[in-house]
């Protein structure tokens, strides 16, 4: 028997109302208890990595995926390995998994909150070709990668340039959203424009790095 039935009819509405208020307050407190540590964690790891886990805008993501499909087709590999360096919430990784179902997508992220969100979404969506690693991409051996995707700031791209040159094998491709690799000249550069932004997507191919590296 519900507890409010023990009260006279004129008190039942007040009882139910108080119960609803109490439930809302409990839910609100739980949200605060979960959200505050999550925000602190994200801020801490953003400072550690010197980049936030914010996803790219949809039209840039679509342009990156379009370029990715072109490069996968040009490679002709039956199961290319695609790395996303700083996978965040997994938005681009999942889009790449849908666009290239035979590829192996590997996302690397050190911030726990977006990482576990992406892993949960992978489990719920039953994605078989995506794996998310709790690992700094500077510690990753990229030797077996066919394509590396990046949406990072210029200082990180400058540091990655050395790692790309050391790790990536011939015929590998780097696709960078918005930020160029300092000192490299892209084999393909695309300008994406809408009513607010004018941004670029840079594509680099390993065999051309030595001959296309800028004099700077």
* 3 CB-contact burial (10 Å; exposed 0-12 / middle 13-18 / buried 19+): exposed
**pLDDT tens sequence across 166-191:** 999 888 999 999 999 998 989 999 99
pLDDT at 29 > cutoff 90? no
Pairing of the two strands 173-177 and 188-193 = unpaired
Which pLDDT does position 23 carry in this prediction?
Answer: 83
pLDDT at 10 > cutoff 60? no
- Report d(CA 180, CA 11) in Å as an integer: 68
Nearest Cα residue to 97 out of 55, 66, 137, 127: 127
CATH of domain 58-212: 3.40.50.150
- Report d(CA 211, CA 216) in Å as an integer: 13
Domain ranges for the chain: 3-49, 58-212
Cβ–Cβ under 8 Å, residues 198 and 191: yes
Which pLDDT does position 66 carry in this prediction?
Answer: 95
- Report d(CA 46, CA 94) in Å as an integer: 22
Q: Report the predicted TM-score, pTM, of the whole model to 2 decimal places.
A: 0.77
């Amino acid at each position: 028997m519900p507890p409010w039935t023990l009260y006279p009819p004129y008190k039942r509405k007040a009882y139910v109302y108080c119960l609803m208020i109490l439930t809302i307050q409990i839910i609100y407190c739980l949200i605060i208890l979960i959200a505050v540590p999550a925000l602190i964690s994200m801020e801490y790891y953003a400072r550690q990595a010197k980049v936030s886990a914010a996803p790219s805008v949809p039209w840039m993501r679509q342009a990156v995926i379009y370029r990715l499909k072109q490069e996968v087709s040009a490679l002709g590999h039956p199961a290319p390995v695609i790395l996303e360096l700083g996978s965040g919430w997994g938005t681009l990784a999942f889009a790449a998994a849908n666009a290239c179902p035979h590829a192996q997508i590997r996302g690397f992220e050190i911030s726990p909150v977006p990482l576990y969100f992406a892993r949960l979404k992978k489990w719920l969506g039953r994605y078989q070709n995506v794996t998310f690693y709790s690992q700094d991409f500077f510690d990753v051996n990229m030797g077996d990668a066919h394509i590396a995707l990046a949406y990072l700031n210029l200082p990180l791209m400058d540091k990655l340039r050395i790692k790309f040159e050391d790790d990536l094998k011939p015929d590998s491709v780097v696709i960078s959203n918005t930020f160029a690799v300092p000192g490299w000249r892209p084999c393909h550069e695309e300008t994406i424009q809408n009513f607010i932004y004018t941004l670029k997507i840079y594509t680099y191919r390993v065999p051309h790095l030595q001959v296309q590296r800028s004099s700077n």
